[in-house]
Structure 1
Amino acid sequence: MTERKGTAKLDYLRKIEKEIQQKWEEEKMFECDAPVEQSTNKNKYLVTFPYPYMNGRLHLGHTFCLSKCEFAVGYQRLKGKRCLFPFGLHCTGMPIKACADKLKREMECYGNPPQFPDEEEGEEENKPKAGDEIIIKDKSKGKKSKAVAKSGGAKYQWDIMKSLGLQDDEIEKFADAAHWLDYFPPLAVEDLKSMGVKVDWRRSFITTDVNPFYDSFVRWQFVTLKERKKIKFGKRYTIYSPKDGQPCMDHDRQTGEGVGPQEYTLIKMKMVEPYPFKLSELKGKNIFLVAATLRPETMFGQTNCWVRPDMKYIAFDTASGDVFICTRRSARNMSYQGFTKENGVVPQIMELLGQDILGCALSAPLTSYKVIYALPMLTIKEDKGTGVVTSVPSDAPDDIAALRDIKKKQALREKYGIKDDMVLPFEPVPIIEIPGFGILSAPFVCDELKIQSQNDREKLAEAKEKVYLKGFYEGIMLVEGFKGQKVQDVKKPIQKMMVEKGEALIYMEPEKQVISRSSDECVVALCDQWYLDYGDQEWKQQASDVLKQMETFCDETRKNFEATLAWLQDHACSRTYGLGTRLPWDEQWLIESLSDSTIYMAYYSVAHLLQGGVLNGQGPSPLGIKPEQMTRGVWDFIFFKDAPFPKTNIPKESLQKLKQEFEYWYPVDARVSGKDLVPNHLSYYLYNHVAMWPNDSGKWPQAVRANGHLLLNSEKMSKSTGNFLTLSQAISKFSADGMRLALADAGDTVEDANFVEAMADAGILRLYAWLEWVKEMIANQGSLRTGPTDSFNDRVFISEMNAGIIKTEQQYEKMMYKEALKSGFFEFQAAKDKYRELATEGMHRDLVFQFIENQTLLLAPICPHLCEHIWTLLGKPGSLMNASWPVAGPVNEVLIRSSQYLMETAHDLRLRLKAYMQPPKSKVSCSGSQSQLIAVVVD
C-alpha cells in the first residue's frame, strides 16, 4: 500500500461528498413509489444485487460488483426512467451461527478474555494433532478445562473479531448470534450511504425469522413450491458436514464452492486365505480390499491391484458382516452412506500399513485371472478414492507403466517381498478396441510417447488424456456379453450387473475437498432431506425458456448458464442448524440460505409498506398491517395476477396498493452478480421465477450481468496477506468518487478485474483538476470568445462532443463501464484539451459551457457527487439526479478525420523540423528543398 504525501485534494472531494449525500437524504432523492396511474408503458428500471452476507464489513469485492448496479441506475435515471435500486442484507444460514458458537466454545475453554495456549516453534512433534483432547489452563483464573485441538492454520474466532477492530468487551457479545444481526447490517447501510449509492433504503431488510414479514414471505413461497410439486422428500446423496450434523451447501463452505458428489463403483476384491500375518486373527471372515473406480467396464482386464506401502489403511466391519480395507478418509465417507451398522461410526478393527498387505492373493470380479495380487505403487494419493487401486494395464497408462517397472526391476520386487509368480505371468488383457490405438490402447500409446517408467508424470498425463477420451467416445467392447457395444453405452449396465451380484457397491465422495465454515472436512452422506427437484426435465426446460429470452451481455455467461442447466440436479433446501425460516410443514427443518434467496426481489416491491424502513421488520407498518395478517391468500393476491381477493381484515385499498407496487416494479430488469454464482444462486433464480409465475412470462428475469472477481493491485485480495480493503477503508483512502472511478476502470468482462490504487490516486487528481478548470471557466467566462461557432476547430469540437455522447451511451447500454469511462471522460477530456490547444482564435464560451454540461452528465453515473456539485456551480435548477441525458447532434466524421489528419501531419512535420534543425555531424549546406520545408513548418 502506497503512502500519500498530502490529502488536501482528497479532503476537499470528501467534504463535497458529505454535503451532497446530506442533500440527497433530505430530499429523499432515491425513494421511489409506483405511480398511482399506471400505463402499459411503465418506463421503469429495477436493478438488484445479491444481498451480501452480514458476518463482517462490506469489502471492495462486494463494492465492485454492486457498483455495476449503481452505474446502471445513474444512467437509466438520466434516460428518463423511474429507477429502483433496493438493497437487502442476508443473515440466513450457517456462518453467523457457526462463528457465534465457535466464539462461545473458545470462551468456555480458554476464559474471557481467552488465554490461548502458546505455540512454541521447533516442537512440532510435541504439538497436539487435530482432534486430540488437550488440557487448557486459564492463566487469569487458575482453572483447567478440556478442549479439542484445532487443525493447523485455523484462526481463533476471537482473533478474527479483534482483526475487525473490536475490543474484548465488545467481542463477547458476538457469542450470541442475534448480536450479529444487530451489529453488522447498520454498518453495511452506513458504508453504502457513504459511497453515495442510489438505494431506496425504506425497502431494506434482514432475513431470517427475526424479521416476521420476510419470514412470512418465505413460508408462502415454500408452501407454493411444495404444492406445485417442486419440493420433494427422500434419501439423497449430498455434501455433508459431520461436525455440523447437516448438509453443507455452497454458502456454508470455506472451500469447495460448487463441488458436488462424485459417484464411483466400489470394486470388492476378496482376499484369499491364508491371510497376511497382520490379518491372521481375522481368519474365517470375508475380507475385501475395496477400490473406487470410474471405469467399471474395464474390470474385465484386471491383472493386479495397487496399494501404497507407506500409506495407512484400516480394516473395519461393515453392516453386512464383511471386513473392508481402505483409507480412513474413505471409510469415514462410507459410514455416512449405509456401509456400517451405525451411521457415521466406523467400527475399526485395526490399522495397517500398505506393506502389511502387499503380496496378498485376491479374487477380483470379472477378470479372466483366477487370482491376482496386491502390488506396490508409490504414487497413490490419499485425498481421492480408497487408497486401493485396481490395475487394468490394457487401458490405463499408469497401470502398464507401473506393471512394466515391477516386471523389469527384480530389486523392487525383493524390496517389498513380491514373488516372481505374483507379477511375471500377468499380461495385459484385450478388452476394448479403440480406433487408431488397437486392442491394447495403453501399451500402444505409452510406446508411442516413449514412456520409460511410472515416473514420467507429464507424458503419462498426456497418455491418459488420449486413451480415456477416445476410449469413452469411440471404444468398442471385446468381452463376451458386451461384444460390439460402445463403451459409453455399457458403463451403467456393467455397474448394475456387478452391484446385483454383490461384487461391487455404489460409493460417493466429494469431487474435491470441501471444508465447512466450522473447519470440518465434508463427506458425501445419504440423507433424509427435503430437496428442490432441479433435475425434473419439465422444470429444467422451463428454466431454459427463461434463459432464451434473457439478456446476458456476453456469450460466456450464457454458456455457463446452459452448462449449469444441463447438469443441475436435486438441491437440498433444508437443514437443522443455523439461522433462517422454518419449513412450514416440518418445523424441525430450517430453509437453507441458497433456497430462501431466489425470488426475494419480489419482496422489495412491498417491503417499505410493510416494514416502514426498519431492517428487522419489527417497527410500525405504514399500512398498519401485522405480520400474522399476511396469510397465504394475501400473498397470493399481491403476487399472482388472477388470484381472488382474500378473506382478510386488511383494508382493500391497502392490499391494492401492495399489488400495485409489485405489478409496477416487476420484473427485475437487471440482476448484477459475480460469475461464480451462475452455477448455483443465479440458476436457482431462473428456476424459482418460472415455478412461481409459470404462466406469466412478464414476471421472469430480463437480464443478468455477471462479472469476474476483483484483484487489488494485480493480486488476489486476502486479509492474511494484507492485500485487502473494506468499502469504508477505500472511501477513506480515495474518496467515494475516486474509488468509483477506479472501480469503473477496473474491468468490464467476466475475467477478473483489477482495482489499481495508483489509478484511484490519479483519479483523485483528475477529478480535482476537472473541478478547478470548471471553476476557472465560470470565473473567466467573460474573457471567452462569443459570436458564431463556425470556425474549423469549433465545428470539429462540436462533432467530437456529439460522437462522444453517442459512443458513451452505447457503452452504458451494454453495461460496459470501463469503456463508458474511456469514451465519456478520458477521450471526452482529450477532445476538450485538443480544442483548447488548437483554437488559436480562442475557445468559444457557448461550446465551453456546453462541454462542461455534457461532461457532467456523461460522468454522473460513475462520479455523482462531483458532478452534482458542478451542476450546482453551473446554476442549473434542481438536482442533477433529475436531469436528462444529453441529446447528440449530427457527427461529421469527415471533419473529425480531417482534424485528426492535420494533427498527425503537424506532429510529423514537427519531428522532421527537429531533425533538420539539429546540428549535423559534418558540415552540409542546407538544400533548397530543406529550406522550403522549414519555411512551411515555421509558417
Structure 2
Amino acid sequence: MTRKGTAKLDELRKIEGQVQTFWESNKVFEANVPLENSETIQKYFVTFPYPYMNGRLHLGHTFSLSKCEFSVGYERLKGKLTLWPFGLHCTGTPILASADKLSRECKEFGCPPVFPPEASKPSADIEAVTPAQGKSKKSKAVAKAGGAKFQWQIMESLGMENNEIAKFKDPEYWLTFFPALAVDDLRKLGVKVDWRRSFITTDANPYYDSFVRWQFLTLKKQGKIQYGKRYTIFSAQDNQPCMDHERTVGEGVVPQEYTLIKLKVISEFPSKFSCLNQLKVPIFLVAATLRPETMFGQTNCWVHPDIDYVGVKSIQQSCILICTQRAAQNMAYQGILDPLRPGHIDIVANFKGTDLLGLKVKAPLSSYESGVFVLPMMSIRSSKGTGVVTSVPSDSPDDWVALQDLIKKPAFRTKYNLLDSMVIPFEPIPIIETPGLGSLPAVTIVDQLKIQSQNDRDKLQEAKEKVYRVGFYDGIMLVEKYKGLKVNSVKKLIQDQLVETNDAIIYYEPENLVVTRGGDEAVVALCDQWYLDYGSEEWKTEVRKAVANLSATDEIRRGLYSTVDWLHEHACSRTYGLGTRLPWDDKWLIESLSDSTIYMAYYTIAHLLQGGSLDGRKPGPLKIWPEHMTPEVWDYIFLGIGDPDDLVKINRHSSLSVPMLKRLRKEFLFWYPVDLRVSGKDLISNHLTYYLYNHTAIWPNDPNLWPRNIRANGHLLLNSNKMSKSTGNFLTLADAVEKYSADGVRLALADAGDSLDDANVKEEMAEAGLLRLYSLLDWFNMTLEILNDSTLQQKSNYRTGAYTMHADFVFENEINHTIELADKAYAAQEYREVLKIVFYELQAHRDRYREVCQGSVHTNLIRRYMNIQLLLLSPICSHVCEHIWINLLNNKTSIFCEKWPELSCPVDRILLLQGRYIDDTAHAFRLQLKQYQSSKSFKSSKFVGSHSVTQFIPPSDAVVWVAKAYPTWQAQILEIMAANLSDDGKTLADNATLAQLLRPHLKAMGRMAKRAMPFVQLVRERFLIHGKQVLQLQLEVDECEVIKKNLSYLISTLGLRQPDGLK
C-alpha cells in the first residue's frame, strides 16, 4: 500500500486530537481508589522504567512502553481497575555534565560559540564499536550525536536555535524542558497514563527527594548500606575516581570482574632471560577469564607473538606476574602488586610474546597435570584482559579452531620454534555436557557451521554465543565434585576454590575503554565509597525467593538468578551530578541506579502529594507540604509503623490529619504490589535485579508486596537495522506520530515482536497500518450508513430476523472463536499474535462472510462484528476504536469503560471446520476451473474487424464427486504419520524418518508408491495450517451437507451459467 498525499494521515491525526481531548476532559485514565468496598475490586498496576530526561523520547523507549500500554488496555476491558503512572528520571551525571560542557564551550568559544574548523570534526580518539553489516565504522560518541563533537552541536542537531541552546547551561532548565516534551509526546501517542502521578526526580522535587532520603535511611538502619573500599573507575593522572562527566570516552562504563588464573612457569626461560631462572620466587603468566568453571579443560595457554609483556613484582602474592603493562597498571591500584604503594609497578623484565612461546606452565585444575605449553594466538588484543588467555578447546570455538590451525599447519609451528610435542598430543577435555552439543560443544558447533579457520570471524562469533548461552545456563558439569551440577550454579564456587588454593586472583578492569578529560586511559582502583551490600548471602536468599515467586519467562528468571549469584556490592554514591543527597553524609549524592528501585511505591500516592506538578513546587489536593513528610510519616504510609494520632500530635504545626494519613496508607495498600514491570533485557543484570533487592529489604516480612511479574523485551531495530542518528536510521516518538499517526505507530509497535530477541519496527508497516486503519474507518462509515437507513438495507439486500444461512452460523462462530483466541494472546502478552487475530483475520472473516452471503449479510451479525472488532482492537489502535465507538456508534461512555465481550454461544469446532472446508473447496474449484479454461474446449474465436479475438466460454454446470474415505495407500501413510507425531501433537516426524518407516509398505502400494512422499509433503503443508486434525482418517465434516448448504455461493464464485449447475 502506498499513500498519495496526506489527506488520510491528516484525517487520522485530527481524530486522534479529538479523542485525546475527550479522554482528558472525561478523566478516562485517572485511577482512583474506591472509598468503600475496595477489597472486592481487582486492580492492575503496571510500571515502566522512567526514561532519562536529556533528550526526546525515541522509538526504542516507545517500543518497550507499548507493552505496558497494550497490557493496561486489555486488563481494563477484563474489568480491573488499572493504574499506569509515568515518571521522568533526571538523577545522575549526564544532565549536569552536558550543562557544564555548554558552559565551558561558551567560555572558550563565545556564546553562541564559533568553533575552529578542525575542532568541529568528530574526535578520532574515541571508542570504536562493531558496525552493522554494510555500515562504516562509527564511534558510540559519534553515533549518539550524529557526528557532532561539541555539546552545542548536539543541541543544534535537535533543531534548537542559539538563544534556546544557551539556556541549557543551567542544569535546572533541562529539568523543565525535556520532561514537558516527554509528557506531550506521550499524550500524542495516546497512552493510558494517569498524569496526576507524574514527577521528576532529584532534589528539585522536594517530595520525591524526601521519599528517597527515607528509603536510604531505612536501608542503612537495616545494615544494607556500608562504607568501605569498592572497585571504581579511576584516573591515575588525576589520582581520583573518574565519574561519567569526567570522561571523554566511556560514559556509563563500569568495572568488570575477572578471575586471574596463575599459570606457573615450570620450564626455563630463553638464555637472554637467564636472570629469571635464578630467581627464588615463582613466576606466573596470569590469564584473565570470565569463566573460571571451564578451567578443568585447559590444554594450553595463548599469547600474541607481537604484543609487549612485562614481568612485575607482586609483594602481595610473593611472586612475579607476567602480563601486559596496561593490566599491571590496573593491578597496581587494586593492591595486587604493592598494597602500600597504589599505582607503583616494579618491572623486572620486558618480553615480546615470541619470548614466551614454548614455555611450559602448570594449569590449575587441568587434567594435563604435568603441564601445558604457551602457544600463539593472533586474535588476542592488548587492550582487553592481560594479553594472556587460557585455552579450553572443548568449550571455546576460538580455542578449538586456533589449536586446529597449529595442528594442521607444520609451517606455522616451525615459524615459532614449536615442537610437535607441545601441540599435537593435547586433545580437548570433556568438562560440560551441553544440551544439543554434547560434551565437546566447541568441536560440535565448529563442525556444524563448517568453520575452516580463525579468519571466519562472523561464524566464530555465532558459535561462541551459542555455546556460551546454552552451556552456561543449561550445561551440566562432568568433572570432580561438581559432576551433575548446573554450570551457572558452580561458577562462584569454582572461583572461590581457585582463590583459596592461591591459584587465582580477583581482578577488575573497565568493561570498555574509558578516557579521562586529561587524556589518560582510566583504570579500576579500590576506593572508599558508600555501597549497597548486594553481596550479602542473607539478602541474596530473600531475593531468590522473590525471583521464585515471580511470573516471568524462564529466560528472564535464569538471568535474574544468575545475576543474584554473581552480584556483589554496588556503589550507591557519587560526588557529582544531580539527585538526592545521602541523609547522613550530604557530600555524597545517591546515584541513578539506586534512587530508582522502589519509586513505584511513590506512584501510589504522588497524585495526592504533588497532583500533576512535575517538580512538586505546588502541593497536591491534600495540601501536605514536603517538610511535613518526615521519615516517621513515610514509615506509617509504606510500612504501617506508628500511630496516625501520634504523628499528627508530633507534627502539630503541619496540615497533616489522621484521615489524610489513613488515606495515604490505604492508597498504597490498594495498589501494591506492582502487577507488571516492563523493561529492556539489558536491565535484567542491573536495574531489575536491584528492584527485587530493594523490595525484599524495605518490605522484608511481606512477600505480598514484592513484584509479581517482570517482562523484558529485546532491543529495537528500525527497518531491520540498528537505530542510529549518524546513519539517519532514527525516529523520535514525535516524528513517528507526525509521519504515521499515533495508531499507525501503535500498530507497527504491536507487530514488531514480543520476545527477548531484537524486535523490528518497519516504517512500511506503520504506513500500511495507517492506510488499513483508514480503510476500516471508511468501511464503518459506509456500513453504518446502510444499517441506519431501512431503505438502503433493502437495496443492499441486508437481512433481519432469524439466521437462515449456513454462513451466518459460521461467521458468528468465527467471531466467538476470535474472542477466545484474542483473550489467550492478550493474556500471554503476545501482541503480534493479537494483531494477526483481531485486525487481519477478523476482517478477513467479515469479508468472507459477505462473499459467501453474496452481499446478503445479517444486520445483527454485522452490528455484533462491529462491537467485537472495536473492543478487541481498542488496546492497540485506541484512537480509531474510540472515535468509532463514541462518534459513529453514538455510545455515551468511553470504550475503555466497557467489559471484555462475552461469547454469544460456545465455540463450535465442527462449524470452524465447515467454514474452512468451504473456503478450501471454493479455492480448489476455482483453481481447477482456471486450469480447464486454458484448454481449447473452453475457448472460442471470433473476428473483430480483421483481428481474431479469443473468448472464454463460462461453464454451464459442474459435477462434484465426494470421496467417503481415503484410498488405502493414503490411509496407511496417515496412520504412520499420526503414530509418529510428537507428544505435544505439534511436530511431525521428519521426512527421512517417514521415508524409512514407509519403505516396507511401498511394494503393496504398487504404482502409487511414487506418490507416497509427495503426499507426505502435502499433508505436512496442511498440518502447518490446520494441525493434527489433518491426520484423521474420517473427516469430522459432512462434505456433502456443507456443499449443499453453500451451493448458491459455489455456483456464483465459479460463474456457472445455470442456477442449479452444481451437482
Question: TM-score, with normalisation over the residues of structure 2?
Answer: 0.72
Distance 2:575 2:591 in 1: 9
Using the TM superposition, give the Cα deviation of residue 80 of structure 1 relative to its aligned residue in structure 2, in angstroms.
Answer: 2.5
Distance 1:828 1:253 in 2: 52
Q: Among 888, 897, 908, which residue is 1:882 paired with? A: 897
Using the TM superposition, give the Cα deviation of residue 18 of structure 1 relative to its aligned residue in structure 2, in angstroms.
Answer: 0.7
1:263 aligned onto 2:259: yes
1:835 aligned onto 2:832: no
Q: How do 1:204-215 residues align onto structure 2 when only pairs under 5 Å count?
A: 204-215=198-209
Q: What amino acid does structure 1 have at the position aligned with 2:878? A: P
- Tell me the secondary structure at the aligned position of residue 512 of structure 2: coil
Q: Among 185, 197, 200, which residue is 2:179 paired with? A: 185
Aligned position for 1:903:
919
Using the TM superposition, give the Cα deviation of residue 90 of structure 1 relative to its aligned residue in structure 2, in angstroms.
Answer: 0.7
Instruction: Please tell me whether the aligned partners of residues 48 and 68 of structure 2 are also in contact (alpha carbons under 8 angstroms).
Output: yes
Question: TM-score, with normalisation over the residues of structure 1?
Answer: 0.80
Using the TM superposition, give the Cα deviation of residue 350 of structure 1 relative to its aligned residue in structure 2, in angstroms.
Answer: 11
Using the TM superposition, give the Cα deviation of residue 697 of structure 1 relative to its aligned residue in structure 2, in angstroms.
Answer: 2.4
Aligned position for 1:197:
191
Change (3 A) 1:498 1:866: closer
Higher mean alpha-carbon deviation, 732-741 vs 303-312, is at 303-312
Structure with larger RCO (C-alpha < 8 A, sep 6+): 1
Aligned position for 2:781:
775
Q: What amino acid does structure 2 have at the position aligned with 1:896? A: L
Aligned position for 2:99:
100
Distance 1:739 1:299 in 2: 50
Aligned position for 2:869:
855
- Tell me the secondary structure at the aligned position of residue 585 of structure 2: coil
- Tell me the secondary structure at the aligned position of residue 260 of structure 1: strand
Q: Among 663, 670, 679, which residue is 2:669 paired with? A: 663
Using the TM superposition, give the Cα deviation of residue 9 of structure 1 relative to its aligned residue in structure 2, in angstroms.
Answer: 0.4
Residue deviations 1:541-571 (CA, integer Å, cap 9, x gap): 222222333222x332233333333333322
Using the TM superposition, give the Cα deviation of residue 319 of structure 1 relative to its aligned residue in structure 2, in angstroms.
Answer: 7.5
Change (3 A) 1:541 1:327: same
Using the TM superposition, give the Cα deviation of residue 186 of structure 1 relative to its aligned residue in structure 2, in angstroms.
Answer: 0.5
Distance 2:178 2:36 in 1: 39
Residue deviations 1:822-845 (CA, integer Å, cap 9, x gap): 222211111211122122372222
Q: What amino acid does structure 2 have at the position aligned with 1:12? A: E
Residue deviations 1:39-90 (CA, integer Å, cap 9, x gap): 3223222111111111110011111111111112222222222221100001
Distance 1:488 1:874 in 2: 63
- Tell me the secondary structure at the aligned position of residue 527 of structure 2: strand
Instruction: Please tell me whether the aligned partners of residues 47 and 84 of structure 2 are also in contact (alpha carbons under 8 angstroms).
Output: yes
- Tell me the secondary structure at the aligned position of residue 929 of structure 2: helix
1:11 aligned onto 2:10: yes
Q: How do 1:412-427 residues align onto structure 2 when only pairs under 5 Å count?
A: 412=415
Aligned position for 1:801:
815
Distance 2:393 2:32 in 1: 71
Using the TM superposition, give the Cα deviation of residue 621 of structure 1 relative to its aligned residue in structure 2, in angstroms.
Answer: 3.6
Distance 1:231 1:221 in 2: 11
5+ residue gaps, structure 2, are 128-138, 433-438, 482-489, 941-952, 961-1055
Instruction: Please tell me whether the aligned partners of residues 304 and 379 of structure 2 are also in contact (alpha carbons under 8 angstroms).
Output: yes
Aligned position for 1:638:
637
Instruction: Please tell me whether the aligned partners of residues 285 and 322 of structure 1 are also in contact (alpha carbons under 8 angstroms).
Output: no
Q: What amino acid does structure 2 have at the position aligned with 1:601? A: M
Instruction: Please tell me whether the aligned partners of residues 405 and 454 of structure 1 are also in contact (alpha carbons under 8 angstroms).
Output: no
Q: How do 1:337-356 residues align onto structure 2 when only pairs under 5 Å count?
A: 337-338=334-335, 339=337, 345=343, 354=352
Residue deviations 1:339-368 (CA, integer Å, cap 9, x gap): 367887466989967279679999999999
Change (3 A) 1:24 1:371: closer
Aligned position for 1:867:
881
Aligned position for 1:28:
27
Aligned position for 1:527:
527
Residue deviations 1:838-887 (CA, integer Å, cap 9, x gap): 22372222222222122111111111211121112111122223222222
Q: What amino acid does structure 2 have at the position aligned with 1:224? A: T
Residue deviations 1:191-244 (CA, integer Å, cap 9, x gap): 001111111111100111111111111111111112222222332335667788
1:311 aligned onto 2:317: no
Aligned position for 1:143:
none
Instruction: Please tell me whether the aligned partners of residues 690 and 700 of structure 1 are also in contact (alpha carbons under 8 angstroms).
Output: yes
Distance 1:193 1:159 in 2: 29
Distance 2:78 2:140 in 1: 56
Instruction: Please tell me whether the aligned partners of residues 296 and 479 of structure 2 are also in contact (alpha carbons under 8 angstroms).
Output: no
Aligned position for 1:605:
604
Higher mean alpha-carbon deviation, 176-185 vs 166-175, is at 166-175
Instruction: Please tell me whether the aligned partners of residues 313 and 325 of structure 1 are also in contact (alpha carbons under 8 angstroms).
Output: yes
Distance 1:735 1:590 in 2: 42
Using the TM superposition, give the Cα deviation of residue 931 of structure 1 relative to its aligned residue in structure 2, in angstroms.
Answer: 6.2
Instruction: Please tell me whether the aligned partners of residues 748 and 818 of structure 1 are also in contact (alpha carbons under 8 angstroms).
Output: yes
Q: What amino acid does structure 2 have at the position aligned with 1:545? A: K
Higher mean alpha-carbon deviation, 203-212 vs 68-77, is at 68-77
Distance 2:491 2:15 in 1: 70
Aligned position for 1:585:
584
Residue deviations 1:429-461 (CA, integer Å, cap 9, x gap): 99999799xxxx99xx99x99xxx997999999
Aligned position for 2:935:
919
- Tell me the secondary structure at the aligned position of residue 679 of structure 1: coil
- Tell me the secondary structure at the aligned position of residue 882 of structure 2: helix
Change (3 A) 1:57 1:917: same
Instruction: Please tell me whether the aligned partners of residues 75 and 812 of structure 1 are also in contact (alpha carbons under 8 angstroms).
Output: yes
Using the TM superposition, give the Cα deviation of residue 497 of structure 1 relative to its aligned residue in structure 2, in angstroms.
Answer: 4.7
Using the TM superposition, give the Cα deviation of residue 256 of structure 1 relative to its aligned residue in structure 2, in angstroms.
Answer: 8.2
Change (3 A) 1:360 1:837: closer
Residue deviations 1:3-41 (CA, integer Å, cap 9, x gap): 953110000000011111112222222222211114322
Change (3 A) 1:247 1:301: same
Distance 1:674 1:38 in 2: 37
- Tell me the secondary structure at the aligned position of residue 684 of structure 2: helix
1:703 aligned onto 2:709: yes
Instruction: Please tell me whether the aligned partners of residues 238 and 260 of structure 1 are also in contact (alpha carbons under 8 angstroms).
Output: no
Q: What amino acid does structure 2 have at the position aligned with 1:648? A: N
Q: How do 1:656-805 residues align onto structure 2 when only pairs under 5 Å count?
A: 656-781=662-787, 782=790, 783-784=792-793, 785-792=798-805, 793-805=807-819
Residue deviations 1:85-127 (CA, integer Å, cap 9, x gap): 1000011122222333333344444444344444599x99xx9
- Tell me the secondary structure at the aligned position of residue 672 of structure 1: strand
Instruction: Please tell me whether the aligned partners of residues 301 and 428 of structure 1 are also in contact (alpha carbons under 8 angstroms).
Output: no
Change (3 A) 1:632 1:155: same
Q: How do 1:18-417 residues align onto structure 2 when only pairs under 5 Å count?
A: 18-119=17-118, 155-156=148-149, 157-237=151-231, 245-246=241-242, 260-265=256-261, 291-292=286-287, 294=289, 308=304, 310-313=306-309, 326-338=323-335, 339=337, 345=343, 354=352, 380-387=380-387, 412=415
Aligned position for 2:1039:
none
Distance 2:855 2:707 in 1: 55
Instruction: Please tell me whether the aligned partners of residues 609 and 622 of structure 1 are also in contact (alpha carbons under 8 angstroms).
Output: yes
Aligned position for 1:482:
none
Q: What amino acid does structure 2 have at the position aligned with 1:910? A: R
Residue deviations 1:308-367 (CA, integer Å, cap 9, x gap): 554345687878899976434213312331336788746698996727967999999999
Q: What amino acid does structure 2 have at the position aligned with 1:30? A: F
Change (3 A) 1:22 1:578: same
Distance 1:885 1:371 in 2: 70
Aligned position for 2:1047:
none
Distance 2:424 2:916 in 1: 73
Cα RMSD for the two superposed structures:
5.2
Higher mean alpha-carbon deviation, 101-110 vs 542-551, is at 101-110
Q: What amino acid does structure 2 have at the position aligned with 1:219? A: R
Instruction: Please tell me whether the aligned partners of residues 255 and 516 of structure 1 are also in contact (alpha carbons under 8 angstroms).
Output: no
Q: What amino acid does structure 2 have at the position aligned with 1:327? A: T
Aligned position for 1:145:
none
Q: What amino acid does structure 2 have at the position aligned with 1:333? A: N
- Tell me the secondary structure at the aligned position of residue 711 of structure 1: strand
